[in-house]
């Protein structure tokens, strides 16, 4: 292998792969080097329980990727390399302790009818929000898809002012700053409707009372009805496999089992990387590191004190436990058979419980009642399991990376080696209450603790699947640090990408594509 490249990448997460695809398309020779045995980072799929049962390791929902600017440019090429999506018309629902449920589907009347069962007023409000989504969404998506600089925010505000005046502009700003509870309480009266939408905040470290989190329940709810959801045919790794094949087809290198020992630099500029096996790989134009900020000083030896301190102090969200189940049949939901037809079923019965669970995990406690995201991908993609069988994707939120105690006073273990099984059983007890008999359907299971997630992928510090809190003090212009939301670092030609860089977590390939366009041109 030629050890000279235009750009080398530390890590093969989906953002790095997207950046490498674009650079290779612009004629750059790229090399991507990944410490794990397969590319993709948190976006990968495998037979983690039994042969023939394919489970998404962490990310399952590919809607952001399917709607991304990156895919608009490279979708045809990636499809040629085997990428395929499965459309989902019933994206999510929530089930409640009293035996009722509510869900969002692409059938607008059906969704409004489900909401009306809890509150007719809320159903009318939902219809009004849906009617305005086409006007509001372009402004929000433009902001989330723009390079994060002062002028981007200024342009966003100018466009709002020009279209809606001062009052409309301030209303949008207030919405962007609001907590999920504040926004949902203002718009909906039924606690169940608030909980159904508020559960989305927990996917991105926004408990009900955290400022800046209102946007996620709004976008997921509105987009779920308007566009549904997209999952990968055969698994989320369909996008990773296609990007990897595209890079190689363009003469690039993607090498796994190749951990990076350090980033090389001379005269204040990055010049390449050194692998743990001693190989030195030169980069004439850029070194792109898809790493958690805490790894920066270790790989570079340090740069400017202020930047190094910001990287060291970067705050991670609480962790997640994953439980992968191979099933003989789908869950028998006590609230109704129709729940078997939804991609996600949230077991998050109230905003108050979500807030309590989050605070317990933040305090280092194993929550007494964890929030569950129950993924049923084989409803839409039966290729993931043998005929008539199913996989269940169980995300247990939240869970502390470091255990200081148990909020329920039942688990004595203070490490994940000892706490894994009893905490998994607690989660399965919750599932059993809503889907009686589920344990009898389990053919195989794999419990993945926060410690396991970090060991597999060092970017998931403490099992943090979003690689860093998205709270206001660490988002927008401040992700990962003030003045570096474009991925730049104090070392010339060295850049960061991944979920720790604006626009943050999710499968939209935003930070990778923005960086690649900046470096290699559009």
Assess contact for 236 and 43: CB atoms under 8 A. yes
Instruction: Please report the pLDDT score of residue 411 as a whole number.
Output: 98
The residue among 32, 4, 28 whose CA lies nearest residue 290 is 32
pLDDT above 90: percentage of residues in the chain: 90
Same domain, 273 and 330: no
Same domain, 329 and 452: yes
CATH assignment of the domain containing 69: 3.50.50.60
pLDDT band for position 1 (cuts 50, 70, 90): low
Instruction: Please report the pLDDT score of residue 2 as a whole number.
Output: 65
Q: Whole-angstrom Cα distance, residue 21 to residue 13?
A: 12
Q: Is 14 inside a domain boundary?
A: yes
User: How many structural domains compose the chain?
Assistant: 3
* Residue 257: half-sphere exposure toward Cβ, Cα within 13 Å: 1
Q: Is 116 inside a domain boundary?
A: no
Assess whether pLDDT exceeds 80 at residue 358: yes
Three-state secondary-structure class, residue 447:
strand
CATH assignment of the domain containing 415: 3.90.660
Look up residue 377 and give its DSSP letter: G
Average pLDDT, the chain: 96
Q: Whole-angstrom Cα distance, residue 28 to residue 19?
A: 11
pLDDT band for position 136 (cuts 50, 70, 90): confident
Q: Which token pair is 152? A: 């981007």
Tokens 């398309």 locate to 25
Same domain, 205 and 241: no
* Helices 69-80, 510-520: crossing angle, 10 deg rounding: 90
Alpha helices in 271-344 (DSSP H): 296-300, 305-313
pLDDT band for position 257 (cuts 50, 70, 90): very high
Same domain, 136 and 211: yes
pLDDT band for position 169 (cuts 50, 70, 90): confident
Same domain, 165 and 220: yes
Same domain, 307 and 417: no
Residue ending a domain, choose from 432, 456, 480: 456
For residue range 416-427, list pLDDT tens digits in order. Answer: 999 999 999 999
- 239's enclosing H/E stretch is helix 237-249
The domain in which residue 385 lies consists of 318-456
Q: Whole-angstrom Cα distance, residue 136 to residue 457?
A: 37
| Residue 115 or residue 154, greater confidence | 115
Assess contact for 41 and 457: CB atoms under 8 A. yes
**Overall average pLDDT of the 212-230 stretch:** 95
**Overall average pLDDT of the 154-178 stretch:** 85
Alpha helices in 368-459 (DSSP H): 416-434, 450-456
Q: Is 92 inside a domain boundary?
A: no
HEC sequence for 71-118:
HHHHHHHHHHCCCCEEEECCCEEEECCCCCEEEECCCHHHHHHHHHCC
| Residue 141 or residue 306, greater confidence | 306
Q: Give me Rg for the CA atoms of the chain.
A: 22
Alpha helices in 3-68 (DSSP H): 14-25, 63-66
Same domain, 451 and 484: no
The residue among 211, 258, 236 whose CA lies nearest residue 34 is 258
Look up residue 372 and give its DSSP letter: E
The residue among 33, 90, 91, 83 whose CA lies nearest residue 238 is 83
Q: Is 462 inside a domain boundary?
A: no
pLDDT band for position 438 (cuts 50, 70, 90): very high
Assess whether pLDDT exceeds 80 at residue 151: no
Q: Which token pair is 247? A: 């890079």
- 179's enclosing H/E stretch is none
Assess contact for 94 and 104: CB atoms under 8 A. no
For residue range 59-79, list pLDDT tens digits in order. Answer: 999 999 999 999 999 999 999
The residue among 42, 32, 41, 31 whose CA lies nearest residue 4 is 31
pLDDT band for position 172 (cuts 50, 70, 90): confident
Q: Is 248 inside a domain boundary?
A: yes
Q: Whole-angstrom Cα distance, residue 54 to residue 60?
A: 12
For residue range 302-343, list pLDDT tens digits in order. Answer: 899 999 999 999 999 999 999 999 999 999 999 999 999 999
Same domain, 167 and 196: yes
What phi and psi values does residue 427 have, to the nearest 5 degrees? Answer: -65, -40
Q: Is 58 inside a domain boundary?
A: yes
Assess whether pLDDT exceeds 90 at residue 164: no
Instruction: Please report the pLDDT score of residue 490 as a whole number.
Output: 97
Residue ending a domain, choose from 195, 224, 253: 224
Q: Is 114 inside a domain boundary?
A: no
Same domain, 194 and 138: yes
Annotate 484-515 with DSSP letters as a single string.
Answer: -TTSB-SSBTEEE-STTSTT-SSSS-HHHHHH
For residue range 383-411, list pLDDT tens digits in order. Answer: 999 999 999 999 999 999 999 999 999 99
Q: Whole-angstrom Cα distance, residue 261 to residue 471?
A: 31
* Residue 334: half-sphere exposure toward Cβ, Cα within 13 Å: 16
pTM of the model: 0.95
Q: Is 505 inside a domain boundary?
A: yes
Same domain, 37 and 166: no
Look up residue 235 and give its DSSP letter: S
Same domain, 17 and 133: no
Instruction: Please report the pLDDT score of residue 149 as a whole number.
Output: 80
**Overall average pLDDT of the 245-263 stretch:** 98
Same domain, 262 and 282: yes
Residue ending a domain, choose from 224, 243, 272: 224
Assess whether pLDDT exceeds 90 at residue 163: no
For residue range 89-103, list pLDDT tens digits in order. Answer: 999 999 999 999 999
Assess contact for 254 and 19: CB atoms under 8 A. no
Identify any residues that bridge with 104 across adjacent strands, giving them in sequence order.
92
Instruction: Please report the pLDDT score of residue 141 as a whole number.
Output: 81
């Amino acid at each position: 292998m030629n050890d000279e490249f235009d750009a080398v990448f530390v890590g093969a997460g989906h953002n790095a792969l997207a950046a490498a695809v674009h650079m290779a398309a612009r004629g750059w020779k790229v090399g991507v080097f990944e410490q794990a045995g397969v590319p993709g980072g948190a976006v990968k799929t495998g037979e983690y329980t039994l042969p023939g049962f394919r489970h998404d390791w962490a990310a399952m929902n590919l809607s952001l990727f399917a709607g991304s600017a990156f895919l608009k440019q490279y979708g045809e090429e990636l499809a040629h390399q085997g990428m395929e999506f499965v459309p989902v018309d019933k994206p999510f629902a929530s089930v409640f302790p009293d035996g009722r449920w509510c869900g969002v589907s692409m059938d607008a009347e059906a969704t409004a009818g489900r909401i009306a069962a809890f509150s007719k007023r809320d159903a009318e409000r939902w219809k009004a929000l849906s009617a305005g989504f086409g006007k509001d969404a372009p402004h929000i998506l433009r902001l989330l898809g723009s390079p994060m600089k002062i002028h981007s925010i200024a342009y966003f505000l100018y466009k709002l002012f020009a279209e809606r005046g001062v009052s409309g502009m301030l209303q949008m700003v207030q919405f962007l700053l609001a907590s999920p509870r504040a926004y949902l309480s203002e718009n909906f009266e039924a606690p169940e409707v608030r909980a159904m939408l508020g559960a989305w905040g927990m996917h991105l470290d926004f408990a009900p009372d955290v400022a800046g989190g209102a946007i996620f329940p709004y976008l997921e709810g509105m987009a779920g009805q308007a566009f549904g959801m997209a999952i990968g045919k055969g698994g989320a790794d369909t996008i990773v496999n296609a990007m990897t094949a595209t890079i190689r087809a363009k003469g690039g290198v993607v090498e796994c089992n190749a951990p990076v020992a350090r980033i090389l630099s001379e005269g204040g500029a990055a010049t390449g990387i050194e692998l743990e096996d001693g190989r030195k790989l030169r980069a004439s134009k850029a070194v792109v590191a898809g790493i958690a900020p805490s790894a920066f000083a270790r790989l570079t030896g340090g740069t400017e004190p202020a930047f190094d301190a910001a990287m060291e102090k970067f705050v991670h969200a609480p962790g997640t436990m994953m439980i992968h189940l191979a099933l003989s049949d789908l869950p028998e939901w006590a609230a109704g058979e129709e729940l078997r037809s939804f991609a996600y079923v949230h077991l998050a019965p109230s905003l108050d419980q979500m807030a309590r669970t989050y605070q317990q995990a933040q305090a280092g406690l194993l929550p007494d009642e964890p929030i569950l995201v129950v993924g049923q991908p084989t409803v839409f993609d039966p290729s993931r399991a043998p005929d008539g069988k199913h996989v269940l994707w169980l995300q247990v939120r939240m869970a502390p990376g470091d255990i200081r105690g148990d909020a329920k006073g039942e688990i004595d273990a203070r490490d994940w080696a000892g706490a894994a099984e009893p905490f998994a059983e607690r989660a399965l007890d919750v599932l059993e209450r809503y889907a009686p008999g589920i344990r009898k359907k389990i053919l195989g299971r794999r419990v993945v603790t926060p410690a396991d997630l970090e060991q597999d992928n060092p970017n998931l510090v403490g099992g943090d699947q979003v690689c860093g809190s998205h709270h206001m003090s660490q988002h927008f212009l401040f992700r990962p640090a003030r003045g570096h939301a474009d991925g730049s670092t104090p070392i010339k030609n060295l850049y960061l990408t991944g979920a720790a860089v604006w626009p943050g977590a999710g499968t939209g390939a935003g930070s990778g594509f923005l960086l690649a366009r900046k470096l290699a041109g559009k």
